[in-house]
Structure formats: C-alpha cells, structure tokens
Chain A
Amino acid sequence: MGLPLDQIFIQTVNGLVNGMILALVASGLTLIFGIMDVVNFAHGDLVMLGAFVGATTMLNTGNFWLALLVAALVIAIVGAVLQVTTLRPLLGRDPLMTILATFGMSLVFQKYALWQWGPSARKIQEPITGQFSMFYLQYPWYRVATAIFAGAIIGGLYLFLKYGKYGIWIRATTQDRVMASAMGIPVPLVHTGVFAIGSAMAAASGVLFGPLAGVTQTIGLDFTLRAFIVVVVGGMGNLGGSILASIFISLLEAYAALVVSPAQAVIVSFLALILTLLFRPTGLFVPTPK
C-alpha cells in the first residue's frame, strides 16, 4: 500500500486521544440511558455549550482549569434544569415524546449559542503547549494530557459509582427503579443528579476538545451522533463497553482519514452503527445473551 508508517502511528495516537474525549461524552450518555431510559438528543449540544462557556471564562480569566470547572458546573445546572422541566413530566410516556422534546431543546441550545456567541468559531488556548518527541516524531503535549485527564475523570466516575455513598443509590436505581424507591431512595432526585453529572462530563469534554479544533454551534450534532453510535456499539448502559467503543470508533475514523477526506471518514462510524444494529444489537463488546 505504501502508507507511511509514521502517519499510521500518529493517527493511532490521535484516534486514542479523540477516543478518550468521546468516551467522556459517551459515558455520560450511557449513564443517563441506563438509569432513565432516555436518549438525550441534546447531549452533544451540552458539549458545545460547555466549550463556549469555557471559552468565555478563559477569555476573562486566562485560566484553563478554572474554565473547565466553571463550564462543568454551569452546564450541570443547565442539565438539571432541562431534566426537571422537560424530561420529568415525560417519564413513563411514549419514548417518542422524549426524543422530540430533547430534539426541541437541541434546537434551542444551538440557536442560543449562535445568538450569544456569534457564528465564528471560538478557539480555546491550550494550557500545556509544546510538543515532545515520541520516537522520532513530534507530538503535542496537550493532546496526551487531554487523554489522561479524560481518563482520570472517567476513572473518578467509576470509583464514585462503586464506592461512594450515592454511588449505591445510582446503581440501585439503574437496576430497579421501583425497588430503589421502596427502599427510601429519592429516585426523582437521583435522576436529576445523574443527568447533571452526565451534563458536567459533556461540558468537560467540550472544554478539553476546544484547543484541538474551533468551537462552533454546529459541533453538537456531530458529538450527539458519535456518542450515540458509541453507546449502541458499546452496549446501552454499559460503561466499560462505551469506553472501548469510543476508542474503537475513533481509531476507525482516524485510519479512514488516511485514505479518504475527514468529511467522508465519518461514514465509517455510521457503517459501524448500522452493522452493529443489524448483527449484534446488544453491542459489539458485550457477549451476546444466550
């Protein structure tokens, strides 16, 4: 084929980095789905809003980490409000309605972002500049740091779910909402809390993603679609699966981008989704139930 080895190598690392960011978005989505059976059509737009809030905070304070924190907090609140006002009333109704409602909110978020921040792309300055030598190649520090940081957040989430006090509440509610309620767990509050956590994670991804590419209000759809593909391929509600799937999908796209244009590389993810839905609908990384 004659593809240069160093390009393949760079794309592998790029795929891993993008995969970790996507994993951060997707784990929020899968957590929400696992506990409430809701697919949040507006999830990608929360990423987008987080990035914008982060960019503005960055502009005013010059501190990247503060921007990350502020964005996560603000969007967590936005997410909680969204859940209480639009999703709680729809609980138990036709899932069609939830899709439509979150679609409506997605539209509002996109146009709000357009109104508030204008149509031109925002760039966030990366907090860690410079590159380092990986074998004989140069690779930006920031990208590696992003992947590590995203991994740390996901790791933190895992620990919180396994050992934290409210972790038990979340896991119990995910498994059996009715019995959790009968055990005194305030299920509506848990739902809102999880949605807020998922939103915060989405916002964090947005801010981490900011320095890698410009932020416009159209990136929301991209993230929503990719996150959804990952959640399906990884197994709905399966945290570990969605991380593996994120890396898998991102690597696929990164390699595809070597052969076709980046705009076309995205078809690879779409195909992965369609094939998974046809042949292993419970998820590629989930053992097929016997």
Chain B
Amino acid sequence: MLTLRDVHTYYGKSHILHGVSIEVGQGEVVGLLGRNGVGKSTTLKTIIGLVHPAQGSVDFEGQDISRMPAHRLARLGIGYVPEDRRIFRLLSVLENLRTGLDRQGVSPERRDALLDKVYTHFPVLRERRQQAGGTLSGGEQQMLSIARAMMLEPKIILLDEPTEGLMPRMVGQIREIIQVLHREGIAILLVEQNVPLTLDVTDRVYIMEKGVVRHHAPAADVRANQDVIHQYLGV
C-alpha cells in the first residue's frame, strides 16, 4: 500500500536520507528502529509530505505522492502522530478533534459516530473535551494526538515515538491503542526507541542507520535472535 523506493531527503544542505526503501502493506504493523538521528522521523515526514524527497519515489495506493503537500496526503488517508505530540494547545480537546473531523463529504451522523468511537476508546477525552489541549497531561496529550489522527479515517497512521516522555506504565496503554488501531484495519508505521514494545506489536521491522535501512526482518525472527538489535542500537 505504501512504498518508498530509494528515497533521498535533505534538510537544507544536510543529506539525511541516503536511499531509504520501505514497504507497508494494508493493515500491517511495521516497526522502524534505530538510534537517535538516523533519519527515522525524517522518513515519516517525507511520507506525510512535510519534506519532499530530492530523489526516489513515494507511492501510496499506486499513486506517486512524493510531490504532494501534506494537507492533500492527510485527506488521502495518511495520519501523522508526531514526536512531542504537537496537539493544538490553545484549542479545546473537541476542537483538536474537529480539525480532522471537519472534512468534505463527511455527514454529521458519521462525524458523531467517529467522535463516539474515539470517546469510547479514550473516555478521558470525552471528560476533558472542553478543556484546552495544553492543560492535559503528557499521556492524555498522546491519546489526543492519536485520536486526532483517527478523525481522518486514515488507511495508515505514522506513529513517531509514542512512548517518549511517558511514564512506563503508560506503555501498556500505547500497546492497547496500537492493537485497537490494528483491529480497525489501519496500517501502522511505528518509529520507536522502545524495542520490546516494537517487537511485540509489529509484524515486521526495519532497522536504520545513518540514513539507510540496514536490516529488514519479520519481528518474530528478531525476537528470537536479538543480535541485530545489539549491533545497530547498541542495547
């Protein structure tokens, strides 16, 4: 469904991605591991169109999306949950959700249904729906960030380090949320530093180093033999 082929991305003059190739199939949960600064976030940003590749192609459902602006890609069905959550702090929880909800071609009934669904998965958001986003705790903001992306009814969600900065007991919640998304049939591309979580929830993992993919294997294999993890992540 999503294919990156030999993608090179630059930030100004810095050459960050040196030919990244990644695939995510329909409904798959794929992991992207690697040390800090290897280009994992940049890969996600390239997919959602926040940066454009200088070389290579990004295909989504058969279309070349490498030149499209982010807002078009969001509407095509790519959801993005960035590092640091980046919810709209001055908007209320409900308004945050509405940024994804107010789209063309969505009837009021479907909107209410979507909201209901999200509130069922994240009851705390229903409680706090009139509160400003900035007043939520870290964990709640992370839920809002994911819920917000779900409002787009995406076919794939890009998750950038969802457990970062969260208390360890919230990792379990993130695991549950990923499973919920998976059950809904949404594909997930998960960038994480938390290796056990990643190996647990994903079908396949890519390991990146210095802007390229160095290793690619089913999660089960890596679970069985963690040598590659020691090799590329030094843990």
A175 touches B50 (CB 8 A): no
Count the A residues whose beta carbon is within 8 Å of the partner chain — how many?
Answer: 18
Given contacts A182-B80, A183-B100, contact A168 B95 (CB under 8 A): yes
Report yes or no: B90 in contact with A171, Cβ–Cβ below 8 A: yes
Report the minimal beta-carbon distance from A159 to chain B, rounded to whole angstroms.
Answer: 15
How long is the Cα–Cα vector from A228 to B141 in the complex, in angstroms?
36
- 30 of the cross-chain contacts (CB-CB < 8 Å) are A168-B95, A168-B99, A169-B99, A171-B91, A172-B88, A172-B95, A172-B99, A175-B89, A175-B91, A176-B88, A178-B70, A178-B86, A179-B82, A181-B50, A181-B70, A182-B48, A182-B50, A182-B71, A182-B82, A183-B74, A183-B100, A183-B148, A183-B152, A184-B74, A184-B75, A184-B100, A184-B152, A185-B71, A185-B99, A186-B71
B182 within 8 A of A: no
B interface: dominant SS: loop
B133 and chain A: residue at smallest CB distance: A175
Task: Check if A184 sits within 8 Å of B71, measured CB to CB.
Answer: yes
Encode contact with A along B117-152: 1 for CB under 8 Å, 0 otherwise: 000000000000000000000000000000010001
B70 and chain A: residue at smallest CB distance: A181
Closest-by-CB residue of A relative to B148 is: A183
User: For residue A181, which residues in chain B have a CB less than 8 angstroms away from its CB?
Assistant: 49-50, 69-71, 74
State in angstroms the CA–CA spacing of A175 and B48 once bound together. 19
Interface code A186-229, partner B: CB below 8 Å = 1, 0 otherwise?
A: 11100000000000000000000000000000000000000000
Contact of B88 among A165, A179, A188 (CB under 8 A): A179
B210 at the interface (CB under 8 A from A): no
B103 is an interface residue with CB less than 8 A from chain A: yes
B102 at the interface (CB under 8 A from A): yes
Q: Is B98 in the interface zone, CB < 8 Å from A?
A: yes
Which residues of chain B are within 8 angstroms of A252 by Cβ–Cβ distance? none
What 5 new A-B contacts, CB under 8 Å, besides A165-B102, A171-B95, A176-B86?
A178-B50, A183-B148, A183-B152, A184-B74, A188-B69
**Interface hits, B53-78 → A, CB 8 Å:** 69-71, 74-75
Report the number of A-B residue pairs with Cβ-Cβ less than 8 Å: 63
- Please, how many residues of chain B have a CB less than 8 angstroms from a CB on the other chain? 24
Query: Residue A78 at the B interface, CB < 8 A?
Result: no
Question: Which of A165, A179, A180, A187 has the most chain B CB atoms inside 10 A of its CB?
Answer: A179
Most chain A CB atoms below 10 A, which of B70, B75, B90: B70
A179-B86, A180-B99 known; A187-B71 Cβ under 8 A: yes
Is the beta-carbon distance between A182 and B74 smaller than 8 angstroms? yes
A146–B99 CA distance with the chains assembled, in angstroms:
36
Q: Would you call B102 and A168 a contact (CB within 8 A)?
A: yes
Say how far A156's CB is from chain B's closest CB, in angstroms: 20
Give the chain A neighbours of B69 by CB distance below 8 A.
181, 188
**Distance in angstroms between the alpha carbons of A178 and B4 in the assembled complex:** 22
* B103 nearest CB neighbor, chain A only: A184
Q: List B contacts of A185 (CB < 8 A).
A: 71, 99
Question: Using an 8 Å CB-CB cutoff, how does the interface string of B215-231 with A read, 1 for contact, 0 for none?
Answer: 00000000000000000
- What is the minimal beta-carbon distance from B151 to any residue of chain A, in angstroms? 8
Q: Closest CB-CB distance, A15 to chain B, in whole Å?
A: 32
Q: Complex formed: what's the CA distance from A151 to B39 in Å?
A: 51
Q: Which residue of B lies closest to A165 (CB)?
A: B102
A169 to B95, CA, bound (A): 10
Expressed in whole angstroms, the minimum distance between the Cβ of B152 and any Cβ of chain A is 6
User: Which B residues are CB-close (under 8 A) to A172?
Assistant: 88, 91, 95, 99
Instruction: Report B3 CB to chain A, min CB distance, Å.
Output: 20
In the complex, what's the smallest C-beta–C-beta distance from B37 to chain A, in angstroms?
Answer: 20
